Structure 1
C-alpha cells in the first residue's frame, strides 16, 4: 500500500472497528449506521485534512468491495430456497420493480437517469452497499452517489420507527411480518433493527429475505453494466461483471456447499462488519449537506416515492405469496 494512503486508511479502519465494537456492547445500534453518521459529522463539522483524502477514498471503494465479497459468506442459498418460490418471486419483483419503477418515476420527475438508478438500487436491494456497488457500473457524478447514500440513511432510518408501528395495527403473524420487513426496508442493518424491535420470530425470517435481496446485487450490476454499454463490450471499459461481484457469488456458493466451522464463520462475519463499517464511514465522509442544496428537492421526493413503491410491492406481494 502506498504511504499516501495510510493516514486516511488507518482512520477509516479504526472508526469502522470502533463502530463494530460499539454494536457488540449495544446491539440495538447498527455499526453501519453509526459509521455513516460519524463520516457525515466529520465532513460537515470539520474540514477533512487533504492528507486523509486518498486513504478514505481507497476505503470507500476497495475495502467496500472486500466487505461485499465477505458478505457473500453469510448467504446460504438453501435458506433462501426454503422460503419457497412464491417468496423468492416477490423478492425478484421488489428488486427489479423497485429499480426500474424508480428510474421511470425519476424520468417523469426530471431527475437524472444516473441519480435515479443509484436511488433505485439502494432502496430496492441493500442500501448504501448497493449504491456503492452499482456506481462502478454506470456513468455518474460523485454528488449523485453521496445524495443516494444520504437518502438511504434518511428514509431507512425513518422506516425503523414507522414499519413496526404500521405492522402493529395489523393481525399479521410473525412469519408474514418478517417477510414484509425483509423485503421492504433498505439496509440489512435497518432490517435487523426492526426485527429486533418486533421480536425474534420476525427477525429470523426478515434477515433471510433481506439476504435474498442482497444476492440480487450481482445480476443487477451485471445488467446495468450491459445496459450502460448498449449491449456491447469494449476493451477500454471495465469488465461486464466486476471481480468483486464474482467473489460475492463464489463466497455464497462456498457457504452453501461447505459447512464453515463456527470459529471461521465468526471471524469472517467480524471482518465483513469492519470492512463495511469502515467503508460506510468513508462514504459518509463524502456527504456534505451543502451538496443537497445544489441537488434540490426532486431526488428527495424520488426517494420518498421509491420507498413507497418498494414497500407496496413487498407488502402486497408477500400477502399474496403467504
Structure 2
C-alpha cells in the first residue's frame, strides 16, 4: 500500500529553489483565446431555398455565425459552436473598428444569454438587426464568453465585416417579397410621389393622418418607413432619393407629435418595384414610401 508518511519527508526537505521551479512548470490558464477568420479567408455566403434565406460566416476551429429569415418571420442571428458550454451562461457583445477603419468607434452592447448546446447564441429581431447593421457599416462584432474546456480564461470570437456588403444584394434578393419581414407588420399604408420629388402630395395627407391617429392610440407601437423610386436614373441617385422620401414622411410624423425613437427609415432605391414594367403607370406606382406599423 502507498504510504504517505514515508513520502512526506521528501517534500518537507525539498529545497525552496527546486519547489519554485516545479511551480513554474505547472499548467497555467491562458488569457482570452481569439477566434476569427483571416482577412484573406473571411467570407459571408448566402444560402437559399423555398423556406429559408441564410447569410453565414464560418469561424475556423470555432463554429458558424448566421442570419436567418423564414416566410412571415423576423430575422434572427445564431452562433453555432463545435464545443458547447456545459451549462447556460452569460456573454458580452461589443463593436470594434477594424484596424483600417479610423472613422469608426468602439461600442459595448448589452450582455447576452448563452445556451448549453450546439447553438450557443440566438438573437431575435431587434438585437439581430443591431449586429447586422454593425457589420454593414464596417464594424467587427466581438462575442466574449466563458471557456468551455479549452483551458482559457475566456473565448473571444470576432465576426469580420470583410465582404459582408458584397453579398447583401444576394441576401435581399433571396428574401424577395419578404424583404421587410425582419419585423411583423401590424398595419400598413402607402404614399406616392411625383417624378424626382421627395415632397409629399396633398392627396396623401389623409393616409398620413390615419397613421398618426393609429400611433397615438397605440403608444407601444412604432413605424418603419421604406422609401422607393422607379427605375429611371442611376442606382446611386435613386438610393439617395428613396431615403429623402422616407425622411420627408418622417418629418411630417414628427411635426404631428410622434417621437423620433418610434420612427425608423429605410431606403430601398429602385430594388423593390411593385410593378416591374417600364412604363409611366408602373413608374408612378413604384415611386412611394411604404409605412409599416410594428411593435
The TM-score with structure 2 as length reference comes to 0.28
Q: Which protein, 1 or 2, shows the higher relative CO under an 8 Å CA cutoff with sep ≥ 6?
A: 1
**Which one has a larger percent helix, Structure 1 or Structure 2?**
1
For the pair shown, which has the larger CA radius of gyration, 1 or 2? 2
The TM-score with structure 1 as length reference comes to 0.26
